[in-house]
Amino acid sequence: MAGEAGAPRDIVVLNAALGLNVLDEQISLQEGVRLAQEAIDSGKAEALLDNLVAGVELAL
């Protein structure tokens, strides 16, 4: 999630872009890729994942 270039990041970005497109057809794949890259590069994706993990741990 540190934004390192490579195949793992590309897969995550494409998967997120496809998910956004399924959620809202007005979001093109190109826009989804841009949004996913921005979320990863800004640290927002990692922060969201950390909050999600913390919430799951509290539920256990």
Percentage of the chain surpassing pLDDT 90? 83
Domain extent listing, the chain:
7-59
pTM: 0.82
**pLDDT the model gives residue 1:** 61
Between residues 2 and 12, the one the model is more confident about: 12
Q: What is the mean pLDDT of residues 28-57?
A: 94
| Residue pLDDT, tens place only, 10-35 | 999 999 999 999 999 999 999 999 99
SS (H, E, C) the chain: CCCCCCHHHHHHHHHHHHHHHHHCCCCCHHHHHHHHHHHHHHCHHHHHHHHHHHHHHHHC
